Amino acid sequence: TANDASTGQQPTATYDSAFLKACRREPVPHTPVWFMRQAGRSLPEYRKVREGIPMLESCMRPELVTEITLQPVRRHNVDAAIYFSDIVVPLKAIGLDLDIKPGIGPVVEQPIRTRADLARLRDLTPEDVPYVTEAIGLLTRELGSTPLIGFAGAPFTLASYLVEGGPSRTYENAKAMMYGDPELWADLLDRLADITAAFLKVQIEAGASAVQLFDSWVGALAPADYVQSVMPASAKVFEAVAGYGVPRIHFGVGTGELLKLMGEAGADVVGVDWRIPLDEAVRRVGPGKALQGNLDPTVLFTDKNTVEAKAQEVLDAAAGLEGHVFNLGHGVMPNTDPDALTRLVEYVHTHSAR
């Protein structure tokens, strides 16, 4: 089931899935749907298998990763699985002292602040992440024709954690480095681009059918700063995996002013949050790209009729679009009722059937 490194060859049934067809902007039998953070705390079966196991450790156990990745596929009938891991896993794998603290997120013991600190960011090789290769091998066998999405954090979003030392609302240290020491910043992002590209290659060669680059926090930047200080590194990542022919998805939050640029960085599919309707997003992104999104995840805290009305608005805004992958505008929130997600998948499938 592994992809051929030279051709990106997929098993035929996977290649012909609604999800991969939509990514390629081919006609689909129904709009495919999956959810960012579909695996995780919204599912009781997830909370059960994770009991007593720290987050990062759970990412390194292939059988557990396989089980957690499959849970939302079994339960919700989504059109794609997303590999269970975290954006900081490759950084942990090259030896950085970081952890994921419950309810907080990634915390880095010694932040990257100086040129000397860059030496701690060595290249990543497949031998650093044997559990990824093993888990994806198990998963592609279990998934059959359901595609598996691999993912990584984009250089800016990874840098935001590394330079700040943890989650931030303002990114003051990271942005200060970007503005104040552009050479150090460029070298840091270039290092992270190489690590990210290597991590995505491991996933694709093990059998991932698509990849998503999460630049979750890049909406903090003005377009000109994105072009000058971030886009070269993100483009390097996309270029490094272009030869496999698997769809490349690019997502960030609050990126209304960056959508066109994020497409131009090398994405085949541009992820859109809930702040801009998809018919406006397609005008901003321009031709030649599929779009993914964009129901506000908090809509799932309302009643069934409201969820369906808001989901229909998303489908209507995407009606003229070639290539739509239905998703939320950001990840599933932990308190979401999983049954609301199952009903939403059913609704999208039924009301987009052609």
Are 171 and 165 in contact by the 8 Å Cβ rule? The answer is no
Catalytic residue, chosen from 15, 24, 50, 284, is 50
Nearer to ligand CP3, 17 or 69 (CB): 69
Q: Is 55 in the site for ligand CP3 (CB under 6 A)?
A: yes
Instruction: Assess whether 24 carries a catalytic annotation.
Output: no
Q: Is 271 in the site for ligand CP3 (CB under 6 A)?
A: no
**CA 161 to mean position of chain CA atoms:** 16
**Per-residue CA distances from 189 to 93, 174, 178, 226 (Å):** 18, 11, 10, 12
Q: Is 106 in the site for ligand CP3 (CB under 6 A)?
A: yes
161 is in an annotated binding site: yes
Window contacting ligand CP3 (CB under 6 A); options: 103-111, 178-186, 219-227, 237-245:
103-111
Window contacting ligand CP3 (CB under 6 A); options: 90-98, 100-108, 138-146, 307-315:
100-108
- Helices 182-206 and 155-164 cross at an angle (nearest 10°) of 120
Instruction: Assess whether 131 carries a catalytic annotation.
Output: no
Q: Which of residues 120-179 bind ligand CP3 (CB under 6 A)?
A: 151
Q: CB neighbours of 328 closer than 8 A, spacing ≥ 6?
A: 35, 36, 274, 293, 294, 295, 296, 297, 300
Are 136 and 208 in contact by the 8 Å Cβ rule? The answer is yes
Q: Least Å distance between CB 269 and ligand CP3?
A: 15
Q: Least Å distance between CB 40 and ligand CP3?
A: 3
Question: Total residues at the site for ligand CP3 (CB under 6 A)?
Answer: 22
Catalytic residue, chosen from 24, 41, 61, 120, is 41
Q: Which residue is nearest to ligand CP3 (CB)?
A: 216
Considering only 41, 120, 284, 351, the residue that binds ligand CP3 (CB under 6 A) is 41
Instruction: Assess whether 37 carries a catalytic annotation.
Output: yes
Return d(Cα 33, Cα 324) in angstroms, integer.
9
∠ CA 36-200-132, nearest 5°, is: 85
Q: Least Å distance between CB 129 and ligand CP3?
A: 15
Considering only 44, 52, 102, 287, the residue that binds ligand CP3 (CB under 6 A) is 102
85 is in an annotated binding site: no
Token pair belonging to 341: 């997600």
Instruction: Assess whether 283 carries a catalytic annotation.
Output: no
Q: Least Å distance between CB 77 and ligand CP3?
A: 16
Q: Is 214 in the site for ligand CP3 (CB under 6 A)?
A: yes
Q: Least Å distance between CB 329 and ligand CP3?
A: 11
Beta pairing partners, 148: 81
Instruction: Assess whether 50 carries a catalytic annotation.
Output: yes
User: Which is nearest to 212 in space by CA: 34, 30, 9?
Assistant: 34
Contacts with ligand CP3 by CB under 6 A lie at 36-41, 50, 55, 82, 84, 86-87, 100, 102-106, 151, 214, 216, 331
Q: Which residues are catalytic?
A: 37, 41, 50, 86, 161
